Amino acid sequence: MASSSLLLMSLFLLLVVPSSVLSATLRSDIQALESIIRSIDPSSISPSSYLSTWDFSEDPCEGSGTFLGVMCSFTLENTTSRVTEIDLDDDGYDGFLSEAIGNLTELTVLSLNNNRFRGPIPETVFQLRKLTKLSLSGNFFTGDITPGITKLKELKTIDLSKNSIAGEIPPRISGLRSLTHLILSNNHIDGRIPALNGLWKLQVLELGNNHLFGMLPKLPTSLRTLSLCYNSLAGRISPLHRLKHLVSLDVSQNRFSGTIGHEILTFPEISRINVSFNQFISIEVIQVIGMETHLRILDAEGNHLQGPLPLNLATYGNLKDINLRSNMFSGDIPRIYGKRLENSWRSLYLENNYLTGTLPVEFQKISKQIRGSLSNNCLQCPKNVTICQGVQKPKSQCTNAMQEEGLK
């Protein structure tokens, strides 16, 4: 009777007692963690950092208050715990990422953001077939994005931004069908952007501040954020007309040309558009009265936009900030612009164009504090109006410029 009671009690403990009490971390996982910390300069591990809590006299998956940044799995079926996440703090750890990272085969998250890791990303990382998040932003990693990354079919997030990674984007990266975030900005990546329309779940694509060139590729229609700024991309942006779910678009500081189509300005959820410092010659702004739009910020500075200022901008009900400086706009400033500044617009930058005529009286009635400038045009602009401060060109300069443009 006593032995059967003991057996029942043992079964009860197995079922009820938390598995962490019964578990011990797999030895090869412990060795991998030991190798990771040995690859980091001890002087860069501060007393308040996560790594200072890695005390190998305790079990990594069982210690209380130890091994911060490490998460483990606990199963009733298996008494061995496995490391599933490494998410370190940004304490400035200086060193290399150990190749032993590849032995943590149950790892789903590897996040080492904003430290001083350097050298190439170990190829062994691409053995981590259960990885869903690879986030190494803000370090000093070098080397290429090797095709090995395409083996990680479970990846949802890749963030390698703010490193010194070079080479081209592997074309087969479009095979990572679970990917929702691809962030490779602020590196030295070159070549053409491969077709990415196979990434049908992708919501965020950030490739800015690299050395990419060529025309826009096919992109997934699921995108909500697209940043391609500070590259050498060229051609038309009409392929973007299919991206109807965009909320934020930044293609500034490239060599795009042609027309900024009305389709982009009227995307249902678009809030911010930055097409500045390209070679666009026109912008299509249709009337949107009765149509719900969410556009708040429009930045088209530094292009070759011509003709009169787009009157229909005033029909965009949520628009707050407009920057059209350093273009080739001509003619009068619409009176409705002054009314919008009084009511809803927060900023209006029109300097360095070829605008002429008298400043509409509506601008002189504005009572609230606004940001903007009308300088370096050919306007009759009262100096007591804040937005008029700065010099104007001689009227002949605007007339001559427009005559020259008309002859082209």
Distances (CA, A) of 84 to 103, 180, 406: 11, 20, 66
For residue 178, what are the contacts with CB-CB under 8 A and spacing of at least 6? Answer: 132, 153, 154, 155, 156, 201
314: burial class by Cβ within 10 Å (0-12, 13-18, 19+)? buried
Q: Which residues of 114-127 are buried (b: 16+ CB within 10 A; e: fewer)?
A: bbebeeebbebbbb
Alpha-carbon distance 30 to 19, whole Å?
18
Q: How would you write the pLDDT of the chain (408 residues) with one tens digit per residue? A: 444 443 333 333 333 334 334 448 999 999 999 999 999 999 999 999 999 999 999 999 987 778 999 999 876 666 789 999 999 999 999 999 999 999 999 999 999 999 999 999 999 999 999 999 999 999 999 999 999 999 999 999 999 999 999 999 999 999 999 999 999 999 999 999 999 999 999 999 999 999 999 999 999 999 999 999 999 999 999 999 999 999 999 999 999 999 999 999 999 999 999 999 999 999 999 999 878 889 999 999 999 999 999 999 999 999 999 999 999 999 999 999 999 998 899 999 999 999 999 998 888 887 778 899 999 999 998 888 888 888 999 988 898 877 666 655
The CATH H-level superfamily of 27-355 is Ribonuclease Inhibitor (3.80.10.10)
Residue 186 CB: number of other CB atoms within 10 A? 20
Would you state the structure tokens that stand for residue 90, as one six-digit string?
Answer: 């940004």
Residue 142 pairs with which residues in a beta bridge? Answer: 120
Alpha-carbon distance 244 to 258, whole Å?
20
15: burial class by Cβ within 10 Å (0-12, 13-18, 19+)? exposed
| Helices (runs of H) and strands (runs of E) counted in the chain | 7, 28
- Which amino acid, one-letter code, is at 182? L
